[in-house]
Amino acid sequence: MKSNFGRTFFPAVISIVSALLVLGILLQMRIHDQIEKRASETLKKDAIIVSKLAEAYNKAGVNEPHHFFLNIELLATTTDTDIVICDPEGFLRICSDAPMGCEHQGLMVNPLLMERVVQEGLFVEKGIVGGLYQEKRYMVCSSMVYADRNKPGMVIVSAPVDTFTAQSDSFSALYIYGSLLVLVLCVAVLSLFARRSSRPLNELKRAATAFGHGNLDTRVEIDPAAPKDVQELALSFNNMADSLQKGEYRRQEFVANVSHELKTPMTTIAGFADGILDGTIPAEKQEYYLQLISQETKRLNRLVRSMLDVSKLHEQEGIPDEQKTHFDITDCAGRILLTFEQKILSKKLDVQVDFPDYPLYTSAQEDQITQVIYNLVDNAVKFCPEEGTLGLRITEQGSKIHVSISNTGPTIPPGELPLVFDRFHKIDKSRTEGDGWGLGLYIVKTIVCAHGEDISVTSKDDKTEFTFTLPLIH
């Protein structure tokens, strides 16, 4: 499996090499075409000049061709070409190498060239000039008026192919060296870029591996210079790690709290049961201690039921509409308040009820909203001092119903307010007995949020008040 560096680096290098190769081939083809075009045009001009020059000398009737020879030699030297003139039979009569006489004079060129000159007058050819030169050449063959004016002669202007391709070779060498330099620079830049871009991913891989081995404090350091998508990926990983770490801490806290809550009643039950069995507790007191065992057993049962309720609430995402019913929230709250009559009377509480004179209908899961109000009233009665005030207010505000339950007495410390709805959170950490496990308010918030509503708490001036909302149905 290739690394991210390999997947980034090697395809880029292959693409650059392929692009340089294709570009070099196209440029070489273009230059070759231009060289051939320039060679043919140059040689054509020279052939036409020689033909016209010979024609001019013939018309002038100059018997001494010395000046004509010198002009041909000068033109051949200037243009770096070879010029030969053949008679109508194809025999070479004048050569620019030595106009006054050279080894080529008297040689006969390929008769096919003479036939084409007679037919076409002027043509361009690339190849070996049969009978004259052995190397491959660019050549232009042109007809000319020969001395006897009866049959046309032939002018051949040629130059070795190597003379023109030398320019192409020099350009090719320059292109190759330039391409190698560009390739080296690109490889260096790509290597730096690929390593730099893969560094955050390697860091992310390292963090994920460490996190997977249980190091929950591992986080990815986000480089501001990294690409935006890499930064977003690192941020998402850190957020996920934070969430998993908090979840793990909550799980550990949950296990510790459950173990702590179960420990006390189970110890009590076991102690009393052993005392009855071994005779430590006398027979006349056994009924009393059996009642304590029964109370602790029921307390355990309530704790288990509360935890099951929390588990069920977590499994559902929102309350389906088919589970909601329309009911009067004032009637529901009034019935719940009546169930606490004995506790209210025993503590001599002053109950202040503020309900509207007409029903307020809402759409919700009635049993769950009943549990919310019950838990809040239960807490208010529990923490309200003797002869304190218990308040229950329901108001209509726009499209919402606001339900408030309050009690007088010691307030919640400001630092504890954000934590009151946390699972197993107790304001009084030292409390280990009684019916409180820190699940009641957690269940309340979970139910309210499952309905898409809000709940808040205020605690100041010797008064604590919980308020939650419900939708108003007209």
Q: Let me know if domain 321-471 sits in CATH 3.40.50.300.
A: no
pLDDT of residue 408: 93
Higher-pLDDT residue of 354, 1: 354
- Asked whether the predicted pLDDT for residue 370 surpasses 60, the reply is yes
Higher-pLDDT residue of 300, 339: 339
Alpha-carbon span 49 to 70, nearest angstrom: 14
β-strand 350-354 against 389-397: which pairing, if any?
parallel
Does this model's pTM top 0.75? My answer is no
Give the tens place of pLDDT for each residue, 6-57.
Answer: 666 677 778 888 887 888 788 777 777 777 787 778 888 888 888 888 777 7
Listed by start position, the domains of the chain span 4-166, 228-314, 321-471
Alpha-carbon span 268 to 459, nearest angstrom: 35
Alpha-carbon span 176 to 21, nearest angstrom: 9
Rounded mean pLDDT, 358-382: 90
What is the DSSP track for 118-177? HHHSEEEEEE--TTT-SS-EEEEEEEEE-TTSSSEEEEEEEEEHHHHHHHHHHHHHHHHH
The candidate with the shortest Cα–Cα distance to 256, out of 59, 433, 437, is: 437
- Asked whether the predicted pLDDT for residue 349 surpasses 90, the reply is yes
CA-CA distances (angstroms) from residue 186 to 59, 225, 417?
A: 67, 21, 60
Alpha-carbon span 432 to 189, nearest angstrom: 67
Domains 4-166 and 321-471 share a fold: no
pLDDT of residue 435: 46
Domain 4-166: which CATH class? alpha beta
pLDDT of residue 301: 78
Higher-pLDDT residue of 25, 394: 394
Percent of the chain residues past pLDDT 90, beyond the cut:
16
Alpha-carbon span 330 to 251, nearest angstrom: 38
Sequence-distant (6+) residues with CB within 8 A of 6 are none
pLDDT of residue 122: 85
What tokens were used for 167?
């320019």
Sequence-distant (6+) residues with CB within 8 A of 36 are 126, 138, 164
- Asked whether the predicted pLDDT for residue 294 surpasses 80, the reply is yes
β-strand 455-460 against 400-408: which pairing, if any?
unpaired
Give the tens place of pLDDT for each residue, 458-472.
Answer: 998 899 999 999 999
- Asked whether the predicted pLDDT for residue 82 surpasses 60, the reply is yes
- Asked whether the predicted pLDDT for residue 128 surpasses 60, the reply is yes
Q: Let me know if domain 228-314 sits in CATH 1.10.287.130.
A: yes
- Asked whether the predicted pLDDT for residue 62 surpasses 50, the reply is no
Of the segments 145-159, 270-284, 392-406, which one has the largest average pLDDT value? 392-406
Give the tens place of pLDDT for each residue, 112-127.
Answer: 878 888 788 888 887 7
- Asked whether the predicted pLDDT for residue 257 surpasses 70, the reply is no
pLDDT of residue 41: 82
pLDDT of residue 229: 73
Alpha-carbon span 389 to 405, nearest angstrom: 11
Angle at 103 between CA 98 and CA 104, to 5 degrees: 85
Rounded mean pLDDT, 343-354: 92
Counting every residue written for the chain, the total comes to 474
Helix (H) or strand (E) holding 338: helix 329-339
Interior/surface letters 83-101, b for 16+ CB within 10 angstroms, e for the rest: bbbbbbebebebbbeebee
Q: Would you place residue 429 in the very low, low, confident or very high pLDDT band (cuts 50, 70, 90)?
A: very low
Min mean pLDDT across 148-162, 398-412, 444-458 is at 148-162
Q: What is the mean pLDDT of the chain?
A: 79
What tokens were used for 160?
């070795």
Question: Quick check: helix, strand or coil at residue 317?
Answer: coil
Angle between helices 228-277 and 161-212 (to 10 degrees): 20
105: which DSSP letter? Answer: T
Alpha-carbon span 200 to 240, nearest angstrom: 17
Min mean pLDDT across 102-106, 373-377, 423-427 is at 423-427
**Strand pairing partners for 83?**
157
Alpha-carbon span 43 to 156, nearest angstrom: 9
Alpha-carbon span 313 to 448, nearest angstrom: 11
Q: Would you place residue 103 in the very low, low, confident or very high pLDDT band (cuts 50, 70, 90)?
A: low
Question: Quick check: helix, strand or coil at residue 231?
Answer: helix
pLDDT of residue 436: 47
The candidate with the shortest Cα–Cα distance to 365, out of 394, 338, 327, is: 327
**Strand pairing partners for 361?**
328, 473
Side-chain half-sphere of 187: how many Cα atoms within 13 Å? 10
Contact 129, 104 (CB under 8 A): no
